[in-house]
Amino acid sequence: MRFDEYPYGSVAFVYDWIAAVYSRGRIGLSKRVQLDEIEADDRVLYAGVGRGEDAVLAARFGARVTAIDLAPAMIRRLSRRLEREGLDVELLCGDVSSHKPERPYDVVVANYFLNLFDVERAREMLRHLRGLVKPGGTLMLADFALPRGGLMARALTELYYRPVNWVAWAFGLCALHPILDHARLIEPLGFRIRSQRRLPVLLGDHPAYVSIVADRVI
Ligand SMILES: C[S@@+](CC[C@H](N)C(=O)[O-])C[C@H]1O[C@@H](n2cnc3c(N)ncnc32)[C@H](O)[C@@H]1O
């Protein structure tokens, strides 16, 4: 299934605001912490970049950033922002599945991107993203975290996640699916998870977001 430019284009203007309110700022934080893992001068690809707050931060820091998104409205917004700041980023409007650069990247970032897809399509997308990471390079992704522990953890996570998955599905923004088990998807593809930072939304441990850093070892 392809989540076309139109649904995301039509939410481009409010996307970051909704994400900030719904996650109490954790979505933004889950992306900002990734900057610790990027070296100035790294070649970094942002897949499904959206409005690209994370890509802007990396570019300001000195990384050589490429950002790709299907939605022209997202790319237009990001382009205006980069222009205002005088930042040099390679912006591509298109499907990341067809992106075939001359050489792979030091870092590939897929924030809140795999959750558009059901598990099979997410695996397929990850396989493609793996080919975009150089051997020894890094994959980073931030997304909804799986619950840890018993019934209460699962119930709180479901209550938080399912309604938003239904609504986004109804608007053609994503597939209907449970929260993805990212570790399970990533590791068989030859990545070793270096860190998983959990960012709870409320006081307890659930619901939460996770920011994962994984190295391509094979
Ligand atoms: C849920 S948003 C996440 C945006 C951003 N990464 C963030 O963290 O806010 C997913 C983005 O992926 C884009 N997208 C969906 N399918 C894509 C594809 N096959 N190739 C490139 N971008 C895609 C959408 O247009 C949308 O902007």
The predicted model gives 58-77 an average pLDDT of: 96
Determine if ligand 1 sits within 6 Å of the CB of residue 49: yes
Mode of pairing for the β-strands spanning 43-47 and 105-109 = parallel
Look at residue 121 in the predicted model and tell me its pLDDT: 96
83 closest CA partner among 129, 114, 52: 52
Residue 146, C-beta contacts closer than 8 angstroms, at least 6 positions apart: 157, 179, 181, 210
Q: How far is CA 26 from CA 18, 61, 101, 129, in A?
A: 12, 21, 32, 25
d(CA 202, CA 122): 28
| DSSP assigned state of 126 | H
149 band by pLDDT with thresholds 50, 70 and 90: confident
Mean pLDDT of the chain: 95
Look at residue 3 in the predicted model and tell me its pLDDT: 67
Distance in Å, CA 13 to ligand 1 centroid: 14
Give the tens place of pLDDT for each residue, 8-41. 888 888 989 999 999 999 999 999 999 999 999 9
4 pLDDT more than 60: yes
* Ligand 1 atom closest to Cα of residue 96: 20
Best residue among 69, 127, 161, 210 to mutate for probing ligand 1, ranked by most atoms within 8 Å of CB: 69
Distance in Å, CA 9 to ligand 1 centroid: 10
Look at residue 162 in the predicted model and tell me its pLDDT: 97
6 pLDDT more than 80: no
Q: What is the residue type of 216?
A: R
* Percentage with pLDDT > 90 across the chain: 91
What dotted CATH number matches 5-216? 3.40.50.150
Distance in Å, CA 159 to ligand 1 centroid: 24
98 token code pair: 């067809």
d(CA 206, CA 177): 19
Look at residue 10 in the predicted model and tell me its pLDDT: 83
The predicted model gives 143-152 an average pLDDT of: 94
Domain boundaries along the sequence of the chain: 5-216
Determine if ligand 1 sits within 6 Å of the CB of residue 50: yes
Q: How far is CA 79 from CA 32, 164, 217, in A?
A: 20, 28, 34
Mode of pairing for the β-strands spanning 133-144 and 208-216 = antiparallel
Look at residue 1 in the predicted model and tell me its pLDDT: 53
203 band by pLDDT with thresholds 50, 70 and 90: confident
Determine if ligand 1 sits within 6 Å of the CB of residue 174: no
Number of residues assigned to the chain: 218
Q: What is the residue type of 153?
A: A
Look at residue 2 in the predicted model and tell me its pLDDT: 65
The predicted model gives 77-86 an average pLDDT of: 97
Q: What is the residue type of 133?
A: V
